[in-house]
Every structure is written in C-alpha cells, then in structure tokens.
Copies of this chain bind each other. A is one copy, B any other.
Amino acid sequence: MITFSKQDFLKNIYKQKEKGNDSTSASYLADVLNVSNAAISDMSKKLSIDGLIHYRPYKGLVLTSQGEKEALKVLRRHRLWEMFLVKTLGMDWSEVHEEAENLEHLSSDQLMDKIDAFLDFPDFDPHGSPIPDRDGNMPDSPVLILLNKAKTGEEYKIARVMDSDNKIIKYLGKAGLVIGARIKIIDKFDFDNSINVLINGKEMILSEKVSKTIYLELLN
C-alpha cells in the first residue's frame, strides 16, 4: 500500500485533471497539501521513480496511467465513504469530507466493494462527485457548468458542489442549494462577481466564492 502522502499527492493531481487542467503546478499542490514547495519537489522525484507521475524539472505534474489508477482508487474510497456516512449513518453532508479524508487511505478494495454493494452501487456521492467503479471507470455524467459562468435567464439543476471548506457546504445546505435543486440565474454583477439567483421561489445573492463551488446542469 502506497503511503498517505503519496495517495494525497496523486489524488489532487487527478482532481485538477477532473477540473480540466492537464497538468498540475508544484505550487498549487504545495498549497492544497499544506506543505512547502520543496516538499513537492522531493515527492515528485519519488513518485516519478515509482512510475506514478511524469516528472520533468520545472514542468507541471502529470499522472502516468498507473498513477491515475491509484488516484481513482483513492477517490473511490473517499466518495464511497462519504456516501456511506450520509446515507447509512445519517451524517450531514457538511461533516463527512474530513472523516472520508482519513478513511480513504486504508480501507481494502474488498471492503470498498462490500460497501459499494451495500449502498447499491451509487454513481455519485452526496456532493455530486462521480464514484469510480472497482475497475476505475467513471459513470457517465452530463456536461456541467460552473455557476460562476452560467447564463442569465437560464434554468439549471445543481449537480455538484466541490469539497471545500465545510462551512460553505453547511451554508449551501441551509440555503437549499442541494444536489438536484433547481436554480435560475436572474442577474450577474460585474463589480464583485456575485450572482442573483432564484432557488425554491426565493431570490438570493451568492458571492463569487460560493458560486465557484457549485456546478450546474442545464435544463432543456
């Protein structure tokens, strides 16, 4: 079993790729992993030797296919655990991220397969993130648009919120900004990138920070 640090490293490169970034910068990783740039450099060499990333000094970091496999396993564990904590134990969607950050590191494939079956093979976790199957295949999912970039007048469905500060997730829940909720873009404000939306018949203003954590699916 690969170390915790390596799992986190690979996972975050994959998450960048999921967001559309073909490669990940050292400084970005240093930031999300809360370590120094030097530590990233160090680890990059090791993971390169392990055959898990493509590494060329001063260039962005890219997963090898083996590295991606590892990353997908970590994400599978994380997202299945989140689903379990919410669906089976009734925890709030704002509480489960941190717990899953721990559990993701050392549960066996066998255990995860059992949990997957127990949950009836969910495709998405409580935050709308896709769950890779045991072979590392992601479920089909519709094209998503960041709320930040949604069009005025259009109606959407909330499809995914990014694991971030759990205070934001808690806030989203209270505001009715949950997975599946319908949302209409009323107005966008240039001066601070806030957005005026209609959700559950109520108008509200969402800050740029909040709107950057929400992904939408366009309703036809």
A200 is an interface residue with CB less than 8 A from chain B: no
**A108 — which chain B residues lie within 8 A by C-beta?**
99, 102
Q: Which bucket holds chain A's interface residue count?
A: 10 to 19
Tell me how far the C-beta of A63 lies from the nearest C-beta in chain B, rounded to whole angstroms.
25
Closest to A114 in B: B89
Within 8 Å by CB of A89, from B91, B95, B103, B118, lies B118
Per the bound structure, the CA–CA distance linking A160 and B114 in Å amounts to 26
B107 touches A102 (CB 8 A): yes
How many protomers of this protein does the assembly include?
Answer: 2
Q: In the bound complex, do residue A115 and residue B103 qualify as a contact, i.e. CB atoms below 8 Å apart?
A: no
Q: Is A88 in contact with chain B by the CB < 8 A criterion?
A: yes
Contact between A106 and B103, CB atoms less than 8 A apart? yes
Contact flags A103-141 to B (C-beta < 8 A → 1, else 0): 101111011001100100000000000000000000000
Q: CB within 8 A of A102: which of B88, B106, B118?
A: B106
Q: Does A85 sit within 8 A of B, measured CB to CB? A: yes
List the interface of chain A (C-beta within 8 A of B).
Answer: 85, 88-91, 95, 99, 102-103, 105-108, 110-111, 114-115, 118
CB<8 Å pairs between A and B, sample of 18: A85-B111, A85-B114, A88-B118, A89-B114, A89-B115, A89-B118, A90-B114, A95-B110, A99-B107, A99-B110, A99-B111, A102-B106, A102-B107, A102-B108, A103-B103, A103-B106, A105-B106, A106-B106
